[in-house]
Amino acid sequence: MDSNIESEELFGAHNYKPLPVVLTRGEGVYVWDTSGNRYIDMMSAYSAVSHGHCHPKLVNILTQQASKLAVVSRAFYSDKLGAFLKKLCELTGQDRALPMNTGAEAVETALKAARKWAYTVKKVPENAAEIIVCEGNFHGRTIAIVGMSTEPQYRSGFGPFPPGFKQIPFGDVKALESAITPNTAAFLVEPIQGENGIIVPPEGYLKACAAICKKNNVLLICDEIQTGMGRTGKFLASDHEGVKPDAVLLGKALGGGLLPVSAFLCRHDVMNVFTPGDHGSTFGGNPLASAVALGALNVLLEENLITQAESSGRYLFTALSKLHSPLIQEVRGKGLLVGLSIKPGYLSAHALCLMLLKLGVLTKDTHGTVIRLAPPLMITTDQIDTVVAAIAQVLSEAEIKVKEGLKQAE
């Protein structure tokens, strides 16, 4: 066993099950292992590395800022935070932004804001506020967030959970309308469900949800932590339907693949429920993170990565759709967030990812049923062709293995 793997297994918590590869270097869409083998990264750290590994402009910003000022806490102003927040609000169309570190922190911030808004603005009775979420959601790993999950493993052994959450089917407009009561504060939704298997709702779903929320004075909060920052071919996935949510959550790619940076953005009357002492974070909005995140936003625009994500995503989707394999159940997604669903009864998506690893393609399955394909946004058509050829080879080999297994069983 590799000594790096051995040390992680011996001294680390076993809350992940990594693929058996030890990475040591990255550049653009590529990563290299300790043996010098090169891989195309088709996962980009769950979209956190949308700009590519070690983007030179962002690395330069990081090193320059780190040599001047990194962390001072929000007890003081800095010369980097304001410009970052201004740019973020301009790009999302939101009034104000509250910076945090991780996506889960952004979600927790949204939950607190929605509840306090419900009590102070909407006048919901104290401790009666409800927040509607969708079945199959993934918003993070905190106690409150796993409490509103429908995934048994995420919940098992971690209760009791905070009350106040109501679950409805994803993609079902009527279910949302039926679930709303006078005490409903917000509807929290992913425009595309990522962890659940790259599930795209019916066209017009988000727009209809926005109309229902507006009619009932309910906040529409879009979790764009994975789908935002150009991943789906628009800056926000909600832009595809021309929807302006009441609040937006960003993270992952906001840190340029270098730092954890997240943000909760919303309109004035929602953010104004927070007063000094209500909420905070020692590291949230620190100068180093602010400088890198502003750089990440600028690079996204200057290098036309959003447009590339749209065209490259279309190219990837078309190429995958031409693969005629009995193992493929469905190809789904938008932009460069694509899922290859594998039919039950064949090799698992996890097994296929292990086979892809040997061919120099790096990704991970979700729930053993879907292969994620979400590379850095600058991936080229030639690199996509290489990946699709590897997938075709793996599917062909898997089909042979299944047939041989059936013959042996006979």
- Per-residue pLDDT tens, the chain, 410 aa: give them: 799 999 999 999 999 999 999 999 999 999 999 999 999 999 999 999 999 999 999 999 999 999 999 999 999 999 999 999 999 999 999 999 999 999 999 999 999 999 999 999 999 999 999 999 999 999 999 999 999 999 999 999 999 999 999 999 999 999 999 999 999 999 999 999 999 999 999 999 999 999 999 999 999 999 999 999 999 999 999 999 999 999 999 999 999 999 999 999 999 999 999 999 999 999 999 999 999 999 999 999 999 999 999 999 999 999 999 999 999 999 999 999 999 999 998 899 999 999 999 999 999 999 899 999 999 999 999 999 999 999 999 999 999 887 777 544 33
Contact criterion met (CB below 8 Å) for 147 and 155: yes
- What confidence tens digit (pLDDT) does each residue in 385-405 have? 999 999 999 999 999 887 777
Question: Which of the following is catalytic: 138, 264, 274, 283?
Answer: 138
Question: Which of the following is catalytic: 33, 41, 223, 365?
Answer: 223
Per-residue pLDDT at 410: 34
With H, G, I as helix, E, B as strand and everything else as coil, classify residue 345.
Answer: coil
Tallying the residues shown for the chain, one arrives at 410
- Mark whether 246 is an active-site residue: no
Please give the torsion angle defined by the CA atoms of residues 353, 365, 321 and 359, in that order, rounded to the nearest 10 degrees. Answer: -20
Q: Shortest CA distance to 241 belongs to which of 301, 293, 201? A: 201
Kind of pairing, strands 262-266 and 96-100? antiparallel
What is the DSSP-derived secondary structure letter of residue 193? B
Is residue 209 exposed (0-12), middle (13-18) or buried (19+ Cβ within 10 Å)? Answer: buried
Cα 148 to chain centroid distance, Å, stands at 17
Per-residue pLDDT at 406: 54
Instruction: Give the CATH fold of the 56-302 domain.
Output: Aspartate Aminotransferase; domain 2 (3.40.640)
Query: CB count, 10 Å around CB of 101?
Result: 21
**Angle (CA) 158 192 283, round 5°:** 55
For the chain, give the percent of residues with pLDDT over 90. Answer: 95
pTM of the model: 0.96
Per-residue pLDDT at 355: 97
CATH of domain 19-48+306-409: 3.90.1150.10
Q: Which amino acid is at 17?
A: K
Please give the torsion angle defined by the CA atoms of residues 172, 176, 177 and 178, in that order, rounded to the nearest 10 degrees. Answer: 100
Question: Which of the following is catalytic: 80, 234, 252, 334?
Answer: 252
**Angle (CA) 134 137 141, round 5°:** 130
What are the structural domain ranges in the chain?
A: 19-48+306-409, 56-302
- Mark whether 252 is an active-site residue: yes
Sheet holding 38-41, edge to edge: 23-27, 30-33, 38-41, 361-362
- Mark whether 264 is an active-site residue: no
Contact criterion met (CB below 8 Å) for 55 and 303: no
